[in-house]
């Protein structure tokens, strides 16, 4: 069982960008010739990857933090369960709100889960799907 201080130290080390799953997806996309921008602050939710020519925003979600349904990585700490329940509910609500804002602005949104990226076959399929997203003709 972890102490409160140990849990706090662990949570402080959690990164918001350039995570291992994100870097793995970026490397695979780049190897497939797909070019993208990172963490565009002009877009709601600052998507992890942005493909402007395809009007595609990609979020790489950690299963724990964003509550991937049915995933074994979606655990809940036993200590301070009320805090965690509220924290996770806020994360889910924010994700939905930012996704809706992007879609209303004409963007396609793709959420990629951490556990999907860890499986090579699934990662390859995700890369193929993203690469197959049609480019958008810009109006002049």
Please indicate, yes or no, if residue 39 is contained in any of the structural domains. yes
State the distance between the two ends of the chain, measured CA to CA, in whole angstroms. Answer: 61
Please indicate, yes or no, if residue 140 is contained in any of the structural domains. no
Which residues form the domain of 87?
13-132
pLDDT, position 136: 84
Please indicate, yes or no, if residue 139 is contained in any of the structural domains. no
Q: What is the pTM (predicted TM-score) of this model?
A: 0.86
CATH of the domain at 33: 3.40.960.10
Residue 43 pLDDT > 80, yes or no?
Answer: yes
Please indicate, yes or no, if residue 3 is contained in any of the structural domains. no
Distances (CA, A) of 99 to 17, 66, 83, 108: 18, 13, 24, 9
Please indicate, yes or no, if residue 138 is contained in any of the structural domains. no
Please indicate, yes or no, if residue 28 is contained in any of the structural domains. yes
pLDDT, position 128: 97
**What confidence tens digit (pLDDT) does each residue in 70-112 have?**
999 999 888 888 999 999 999 999 999 999 999 999 999 999 9
């Amino acid at each position: 069982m972890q102490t409160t201080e140990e849990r706090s130290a662990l949570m402080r080390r959690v990164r918001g960008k350039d995570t291992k799953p994100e870097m793995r997806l970026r490397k695979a996309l780049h190897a497939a010739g797909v070019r993208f921008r990172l963490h565009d602050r002009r877009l709601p939710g600052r998507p992890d990857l942005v493909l402007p020519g395809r009007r595609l925003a990609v979020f790489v979600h950690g299963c724990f933090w964003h509550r991937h349904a049915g995933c074994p990585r979606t655990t809940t700490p036993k200590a301070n369960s009320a805090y965690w329940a509220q924290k996770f509910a806020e994360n889910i609500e924010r994700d939905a709100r930012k996704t809706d804002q992007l879609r209303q602005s004409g963007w396609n949104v793709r959420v990629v889960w951490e556990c999907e990226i860890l499986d090579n076959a699934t990662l390859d399929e995700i890369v193929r799907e993203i690469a197959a997203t049609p480019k958008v003709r810009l109006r002049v």
